[in-house]
Amino acid sequence: MFLSFPVLSRSAERVRILPLAAAPRELAERTLLEEHAALGCKVIVVEKAGEHFPFVFAPHQILRRSMSTLILTYCRDFADYVRFAGAIGRYFLMRGIPSIVVDSDPRVWELTGMPIERARRYYARGPHPPRNGDIAYTEFVFLGT
């Protein structure tokens, strides 16, 4: 696990951050986004040049429950999070959330932050383990572990 401070990431791209209510109805992940919003997750859609990139973040506590943060629960590709980290970081910083926890990935070193756990196990249903940036239907979201 890696604690990122996305507001410190370089991001020259101009994007719009949309809440779920303003996101296009035809998004392929619309059901996933609505289900996770109902579970208390933060759902945003980054809009860049007519393209839409959905993200889901679950509430998370670190440092002996003294620091509130979010954990990246879903994105289409982890590279999307790295690409838009600066804009996402500014959006959440304005809402009092300075950090986002992500799974370790070789691309994570493009972000500003620090490792906080060596390994985490996820228990998921089905034959395919979750990929980085997609723990949407794991016990983490439903049980808050």
Q: Hey, is 32 helix, strand or coil? A: helix
Over residues 56-70, the mean pLDDT reads 79
Number of compact structural domains in the chain = 1
pLDDT of 121: 65
Among 77, 79, 36, 80, CA closest to 58 = 36
Cβ contact 32:56 at 8 Å: yes
CATH number for the domain harbouring residue 91: 3.40.630
Q: In this model, does residue 116 exceed pLDDT 90? A: no
Q: What is the pLDDT of residue 137?
A: 75
Average pLDDT over residues 83-98: 94
What pLDDT is stored for residue 18 in this prediction? 96
**In terms of residue numbers, what domain contains 35?**
2-143
> Which pLDDT belongs to residue 20?
95
Of residues 145 and 3, the one with the higher pLDDT is 3
Write the CA distances from 64 to 4, 5, 31, 103, integer angstroms. 18, 19, 33, 19
